[in-house]
Amino acid sequence: MQKQIIITGFLLLSLIFPLKVLAKDYDNIYVFGDSLSDTGNVFNATNGIVPPSPTYYDGRFSNGPIWVDYLASDLGLTLNLKNNFAFGGATTGTENIGLSSLPGLQQQVNSFVSANKTADPNALYIIWAGANDYLSYFFNGDPNPSNTVENLSAALTSLAADGARDIMVVNLPDLGKLPFANFDSQRSNLFNTFSSTHNSILNTTLKSLSQELSPDINIIELDVNSLFDRIIANPEEFGFTNVTNSCISKDLSVVPIDVPTQQQVLCNPEEFLFWDEIHPTTTTHKLIGELAFSTLEPVSVPEPSAGLGMLAYSVLGAVSLLKRKTPN
């Protein structure tokens, strides 16, 4: 009888204190990848030359904050640039198609593991790479999606072995719809195949890793591909008027990295999906950040209502009184 009374009391409390869904409380964010997540590493490595300011914003390959900036803000964190290992031009392997002296994904992860013998289990780890493996088609022949995903798997496994517990892996948007490719149907179809094959293999691989790795390792797949498809199919829903062209001219695309010229920006970037031929606008990055925040595994916590505070005390008091009067 006493057990039933206690359960009843908690059920009443759950009605009084509705559940509020929050993302997990992370200590830090660690980022590995390419220019889509680089918050200033290439900029610092080239002494502020690439990407050029003010056409690009504060070392980002966009016209404003990028998705990890927005995600950190949503999580109530200050993004520590020392925890961002992403470099523009990085492939998933050891090469960088922007500048050969800069690291690929494997060096980024190895650098982190070498410096952190035990990874913070309360941090969020992010891996987003692969686009440059396929862009390298123009320089190094045919890329292999299986090899690319294998590299991503190796990076994830290394982080997990080092102690990382929450690891977000991002798939690729349809590269065939990027401005650098969509002007030519043959090129567009080629890169559509690259990205769709990549995403299919990645999805299968992440599911396998979820079964193979320790149960306390949480692999979070971020489906950016579906987000871009939705935006391109219904741009007005997101406030865009142009999802085909880049906001600024294509000579500022920085793959491979060179020293692009400055130019006057005459477009309205809030209406464009893409800033240059490859990189999204900050408006798009904000949508990616919001998607990432909503994708993180929610944690439900009671959210008290001030107006029901006295009722809560009454319920607790009643349960306590019944416990004393009811025999075991």
Q: Nearest to residue 92, comparing CAs of 170, 200, 204?
A: 170
79 with 67: CB under 8 angstroms? Answer: no
- Separation of alpha carbons 19 and 17, rounded Å: 6
- Does residue 307 share a domain with residue 297? no
The pLDDT of residue 142 is 78
Band of pLDDT at residue 313, cut at 50, 70 and 90: very low
> Quick one: CA dihedral 40, 67, 52, 258, positive or negative?
positive
Q: Any idea which residue has 């949503």 for tokens? A: 74
192 or 5, which is more confident = 192
pLDDT, tens digit, for every residue of 114-145?
999 899 999 999 999 999 999 988 766 678 99
Same domain, 3 and 52: no
| Residues 289 and 316 placed together within one structural domain of the fold | no
Same domain, residue pair 293 and 313: no
Number of domains in the chain: 2
The burial class, CB within 10 Å (0-12 / 13-18 / 19+), for 56 is buried
CA distances from 53 to 47, 102, 259, 261, 264 (A): 12, 20, 11, 10, 12
In terms of domains, do 214 and 245 share one? yes
Does pLDDT of 298 surpass 80?
A: no
Query: Are 315 and 268 found together in one domain?
Result: no
Predicted TM-score of the model (pTM): 0.83
Same-domain check for residues 68 and 162:
yes
Rounded to the nearest angstrom, the gap between the alpha carbon of residue 116 and the centroid of all alpha carbons in its chain is 22
Answer yes or no: do 73 and 8 share one domain. Answer: no
pLDDT digits 0-9 by tens, 41-61: 999 999 999 998 888 999 999
Q: What is the CATH number of the domain that holds 275?
A: 3.40.50.1110
Q: In terms of domains, do 64 and 186 share one?
A: yes
Whether 214 and 322 share a structural domain: no
pLDDT in tens, 69-103: 999 999 999 889 999 999 999 999 999 999 999 99
pLDDT of residue 24: 76
Q: Mean pLDDT across the chain, nearest whole number?
A: 85
pLDDT of residue 256: 53
pLDDT at 7 over 80: no
One domain, residues 237 and 323: no
Whether residue 324 sits in one domain with residue 193: no
* Structural domain boundaries, residue 325: 1-18+303-328
pLDDT at residue 152 tops 60: yes
Task: Please report the pLDDT score of residue 266 as a whole number.
Answer: 72
